[in-house]
Structure 1
């Protein structure tokens, strides 16, 4: 008989998913700080519009940080919580000293594209592991973020 965790998933599958979710958590944390920085430092003719929009984005990202960490705990693992670890495992790199509106929007679009790619990998793993909870969570994120990428693309022309 196979070993399962508290929510009935095979322990090895849950551990693989938690590891991948920790990678996702790291990406969300780095991306969150990038968007927060864009919000603080934005300058130019679209300041008011972008400053407000960036706040909307980082507020949503912060909610997702918590949700991803709680999913890792639900799977029976521990979320990574050191910023030094985030920098090591994140695909998204820190973006420093950006204040141009177009560059900020491009950075946000690229960040979402990275998240979508990683979440599709997690979706596949979750489906293979019969982990409906993780699959539903990242599926919802993908749907939301694909629309955001479309809108950012339209904004950039």
Structure 2
């Protein structure tokens, strides 16, 4: 049976992960080029706006249940389940989308773990929040996969 401390730890990991992911989305937004520039430039902005809102909600929920969210870049990098990837000047728009899908899949897995953990801990409010996020992540993965001409569950 999970306890509130485990829920706090998982939420803090998500805070760190969303912090790193937000910067990666900004990076793609800044550097995307090619025939899909206008579409992807706007899409990456939409995604980082959504991630920023969820990042804030996760940190606030963590505080509401007695936790202390990570709040430095060093903590984000140390505790994130995704890694930063400095732009090398050679990444294509399709590679940016693929990278974003990979990161969303990692987040999706952590959200699923959090849904189970919060259920075991009896934290219905946090579980509801994570279920909503997971539903959105699943939809985003599908749409980004479709952009690449793939099925939602393709690797």
The two structures have a TM-score, normalised by structure 2, of: 0.91
Q: What secondary structure does 2:34 align onto?
A: coil
- List runs of 5+ in structure 1 lacking aligned partners: 1-11
Question: Which residue does the alignment assign to 1:25?
Answer: 15
Q: Give distance in 2, aligned partners of 1:140 and 1:123.
A: 10
Question: Which residue does the alignment assign to 1:70?
Answer: 60
Residues 86-131 of structure 1, C-alpha deviations (whole Å, 9 max, x = no match) = 1111111102216421011011111111111001111111000110
Q: Give distance in 2, aligned partners of 1:130 and 1:53.
A: 36
Q: Does 1:139 align with 2:131?
A: yes
The two structures have a TM-score, normalised by structure 1, of: 0.90
Q: Give distance in 2, aligned partners of 1:42 and 1:100.
A: 7
Within a 5 Å distance, the mapping from 1:1-150 to structure 2 comes to 13-97=3-87, 99-150=91-142
Whether the 8 Å contact between 1:15 and 1:75 is mirrored in structure 2 is: no
How many residues in Structure 1 have an aligned counterpart in Structure 2? 146
Question: Which residue does the alignment assign to 1:9?
Answer: none
| Greater C-alpha Rg | 1
Q: What secondary structure does 1:147 align onto?
A: helix
Whether the 8 Å contact between 1:122 and 1:135 is mirrored in structure 2 is: yes
Alignment RMSD: 1.1
Residues 68-101 of structure 1, C-alpha deviations (whole Å, 9 max, x = no match) = 0001001111111111111111111102216421
- List runs of 5+ in structure 2 lacking aligned partners: 150-155
Q: Does 1:152 align with 2:141?
A: no
- Structure 1 segments of 4 or more deviating over 2 A? none
Q: Give distance in 2, aligned partners of 1:45 and 1:65.
A: 31
